[in-house]
Structure 1
Amino acid sequence: MKKHFRNAPYLLILLFTPLLSFIYQLLNEHPRKSVEISTSIDQFIPFVPAFIIPYLLWYVYMLGYLIYFCFKDTRVYIQTLIIIAAGEVVCFIIYFFFQTTVPRPELTGNSMLIQLVRYIYVNDEPYNCFPSIHVLTTFAVMLGSIHLKNKHLLNTFSIHFGGTLIIISTLFVKQHVVFDMIGSMFLVTFLYGIIFEPYQVRMAEKTETVYVKNKG
């Protein structure tokens, strides 16, 4: 319990997220000449309104698991946030100089799912798609979770299964195209290698040093 109280102040770091959202909105609401990068694969992927559910659950997924990371392992929490912040800054630079757009289907009907998709379409212009921030942040959490120790099997499953659903939902609700998804995953993997891997190497070296001393 004391550890949880000690970790609680680190939640304040999450306050930087509204600033990132504000920057995204500025770029999203001021479109310039946009490029469409969809492929034949994207045309083959159907529009499935039901995927708006995992798409919207992204908000709960991100907040819930970042809070979980904070109390489970502060180091992993901070490293994951660094990946997210650095990744979004890279995205904003790309959005400014290379703005892309996604063709959206015409929405018909008034079912609850269609209404939810319509809400997203109205509040999120089809610009600034490459790389996808939805995918970037979700994949960062998925990779960060690998370093959490003593996770319950159900937790591991929900992080990766839920994350996978969120990532592919961006394609099925036509918010993003395949290149947006690939670009985000490549960017996160690159940042992950810079931020997480050197720490793992140092930890391995420390462990080896301790082992040698004990052996001696």
Structure 2
Amino acid sequence: MHVLSTQFDRATPFIPFFSVFYFIWYPFLLITLYLILQQKKSAYYQTLVAVCFGILVANFTFLIYPTFVPRPQLGPGWNFFVPITYRLDEPYNGFPSIHVLTCYLMLRGAGILPKWSRLAVAVMAWLIILSTLFIKQHVIADMAAGIALGEIVFQITGRLIKERQQPLSHESAVES
């Protein structure tokens, strides 16, 4: 089991309030995907396929490179959501962070949205990404890997979507 925590991670403050943003992740994904779908179907498909592909790659990574994130001891009076988060989301296999991966993909997919929607998605995505660090659910390496993986799968799926949208030439249609 690998521990990727650095001095910077240990110096990052524990801010229980950010667990609220960590919990908003599920509705955030659904709402953002819906907004993207309403704006442009090809962007929706690219984003959705990137999410699925990214999660598959992340889960494969968990198998070959298991990690552990040290957590603070919780005392009485902590935010309501932190103990629930810790119970539901074990401190194992966080490299890359799926929360960060999917939030980054929502940011990329939201590029086609109107300015104010794009801004709302960006603010919420970054609050969720920061929440993974502030509630000590992930470390910087998990975040960086989630963003890097997100960019890679978004680029790959963009190429795949673009290739599928290319009209067939007469010759290639005859060959098929």
Q: Same fold (TM over 0.5)?
A: yes
Instruction: Compute the displacement of 1:199 (Å).
Output: 5.8
The SS at the match of 1:93 is helix
- Equivalent position to 2:146, from 184, 188, 192: 184
**Higher CA-based Rg:** 1
Match of 1:101 in 2: 68
Match of 2:126 in 1: 164
Rounded to whole Å, the distance in 2 between the matches of 1:50 and 1:161 is 16
Match of 2:21 in 1: 54
Cα RMSD of the aligned pairs, angstroms, is 2.0
Rounded to whole Å, the distance in 2 between the matches of 1:143 and 1:197 is 14
Q: Any residues of structure 2 matched to 1:83-98 within 5 Å, and which? A: 83-98=50-65
The SS at the match of 2:96 is coil
Instruction: Compute the displacement of 1:110 (Å).
Output: 2.9
Unaligned runs of 5+ in 2: 168-176
Q: Any residues of structure 2 matched to 1:6-45 within 5 Å, and which? A: 34-45=1-12
Unaligned runs of 5+ in 1: 1-33, 207-216
Give the total of aligned pairs. Answer: 167
Moved over 2 A (4+): 197-203
Write the deviation string for residues 107-148 of structure 1: whole angstroms up to 9, x where unpaired: 11235x2x21001101111101000000001100101111x2
- Equivalent position to 2:49, from 61, 82, 96: 82
Structure number with the bigger relative contact order (C-alpha 8 A, sep ≥ 6) is: 2
Rounded to whole Å, the distance in 1 between the matches of 2:19 and 2:40 is 31
Rounded to whole Å, the distance in 2 between the matches of 1:38 and 1:101 is 9
Further displaced range: 191-200 or 175-184? 191-200
Amino acid of the residue matched to residue 4 of structure 2?
I
